[in-house]
Amino acid sequence: QVQLVESGGGLVQAGGSLRLSCAASGGTFSRYAMGWFRQAAGKEREFVAGINWSGGSTYYADFVKGRFTISRDNAKNTRYLQMNSLNPEDTAVYYCAADLWGRGTPAGDYKYWGQGTQVTVSS
């Protein structure tokens, strides 16, 4: 059973940056694709970025391309989401999710989810 814990959220001004981390335990994390999702108040959860299990492919939602970067550190069992040029529309709870042998795409079979970390961007 993989357990995921997000961290790194907080309050930042528009134009600022944050780096989210997703630490995993309970499994061989290098076998898992990772997706980052977010859910703003009153809205449905949406895909933000993903990285496949081998780390060779990444996917981004159009609204974060050029601003967010997903990466991984297998030695630390951790995945990251570097978020730059944040704007108030990025305010949401951000979740990481894992998909065994997955591609990291929005339609992946993400069976394991973290509890989320709040990101708030002030104008």
Structure tokens at 34: 């990772």
Dist CA 4 CA 63 (whole Å) = 25
- C-alpha torsion sign, points 60, 46, 106, 97: positive
| Residue among 96, 12, 90, 108 nearest 52 (CA) | 108
Q: Which pLDDT value is given to residue 93?
A: 98
Dist CA 110 CA 87 (whole Å) = 27
Dist CA 39 CA 75 (whole Å) = 29
Q: Which pLDDT value is given to residue 31?
A: 92
Q: Which pLDDT value is given to residue 28?
A: 84
Radius of gyration of the chain (CA): 13
Dist CA 116 CA 113 (whole Å) = 8
> pLDDT tens per residue, the chain (123 residues)?
899 999 999 999 999 999 999 999 987 888 999 999 999 999 999 999 999 999 899 999 999 999 999 999 989 999 999 999 999 999 999 999 999 999 999 999 999 999 999 999 999
Dist CA 30 CA 32 (whole Å) = 6
Q: Which pLDDT value is given to residue 27?
A: 79
| Residue among 14, 15, 54, 18 nearest 34 (CA) | 54
